[in-house]
Amino acid sequence: MRILIVEDDPSVADGILDGLSTASFVTKHVSTGAEAIVAISDFEPDLVLLDLGLPDMDGTDVCREIRKSSLVPIIVVSARDEEIDRVIALEIGADDYVVKPFGMRELVARIKAVVRRSTAAETLAEAWPAEREFGPLRIDTRAIRVTLSGNEVHLTPKEFELLVYLTQDPGAVYRRAEILHDVWDTNWYGTTKTLDAHVAAIRKKLGDPTWIESVRGVGFRFGVPT
């Protein structure tokens, strides 16, 4: 597996490089956001470890730029430990968030969990018909594209994954713990508020909150608005 490490602190980068090499990962290290964006196409990583405090641009902007052209899994590795930092990073497309300082065994476990989840999502997409329709809503899992009444709906990768998950069985209620386990993986230690934030974002983009119904005290269910 090829891992791109975006980290401007040489001592932190060296520690990660040594740890991941011991775990048999192929690595490439860059220290700026601009280098990271170029490396996405040049190095073609299977996963990105992204620091937020870079010298030339904020890591959140790097994440946004990567997400314009790539669905490569991204794990933010940052000293910023506020809840809002986690939520923002996840909302713009990061797949997980690790707070510094951290142990290498935890980081390797997070990497494996994110890759496992990404593989499971691809398997789920392959098990579906290439396109599924729910009234005016069409989901194309092969093209990773959503349209509503013929108009494209622009979702982040995590919003798309969550929508696909909820539409597996329209009308069924999915518990919060189930969703966090299956969409964010068992290694997600953040607040459940990020789930609410993603649901709210999808509802807003679909233009009708009844596409995803809240079941108080339980979770959410997907259905076509009447």
Sequence spans of domains, the chain = 2-118, 128-222
Looking at residue 90, its pLDDT comes to: 81
2-118 architecture in CATH? 3-Layer(aba) Sandwich (3.40)
Report residue 218: phi and psi, to 5°: -125, -65
Q: What angle do CA 19, 184, 192 make, to 5 degrees?
A: 120
Cβ atoms 138, 154 nearer than 8 A: no
Give pLDDT tens digits for 132-186: 899 999 998 878 889 999 999 988 878 888 999 999 889 999 999 888 888 876 5
Q: Torsions phi, psi of 189, nearest 5?
A: -110, 10
Q: How many CA atoms does the CB half-sphere of 115 hold within 13 Å?
A: 15
C-alpha to C-alpha distance for 216 and 6, rounded to whole angstroms: 41
pLDDT score for 184: 74
**What tokens were used for 75?**
């794990």
Instruction: Give bridge partners of residue 84 from the DSSP assignment.
Output: none
Cα 213 from chain centroid (whole Å): 22
Q: Among the CATH numbers 3.30.70.3280, 3.20.20.60, 1.10.10.10, 1.10.1200.10, which is that of 128-222?
A: 1.10.10.10
pLDDT of residue 197: 86
**204 Ramachandran zone, left/alpha/beta (phi>0; psi -120 to 50):** alpha
Residues of the chain with pLDDT under 50: none
Return the pLDDT at 188: 53
pLDDT at residue 189 in the model: 52
Q: What are the helix (H) ranges across the chain?
A: 10-22, 33-42, 59-67, 83-91, 104-127, 157-166, 176-183, 193-206
Q: Rounded to whole angstroms, how far apart are CA atoms 54 and 69?
A: 21
